[in-house]
Amino acid sequence: MIPYEPIAVKDTIGYSDHVTEFLVARVGAERVLMGSDYCFPIAYERPVEIVTAHPTLDAGQRRAIVEDNARRRLKV
């Protein structure tokens, strides 16, 4: 059985730098995963750049959102 983690995880699909900034301030970068909405017409074409080019996130927050959080959650 997989242990249950009662931690809400959000993604970066907010279509605004302000939404992502608010989300990180509210729940912390460690609870945000990069999202793309791939295969839907509303998808980001370059989802990583949405995070890496964000004007207010620091390098640690960017890395956490783009890579570290998913690795931790998926245990890879």
Q: What is the dihedral of CA 19, 22, 23, 26, to 10 degrees?
A: -160
- State percent of the chain over pLDDT 70: 86
- Note whether 50 and 12 are within 8 A (CB): yes
**More reliable by pLDDT, 21 or 6:** 21
State the pLDDT at residue 16: 81
Dihedral of CA 68/32/51/44: which sign?
A: positive
- Over residues 65-76, the mean pLDDT reads 90
> Is the pLDDT at 19 greater than 80, yes or no?
yes
Q: Which helix (H) or strand (E) holds 20?
A: helix 17-27
Instruction: Look up the pTM and report it.
Output: 0.79
Q: Are 10 and 34 in contact (CB under 8 A)?
A: no
Cα(36)–Cα(1) distance, integer angstroms? 30
| pLDDT range class, residue 53, cuts 50, 70, 90 | very high
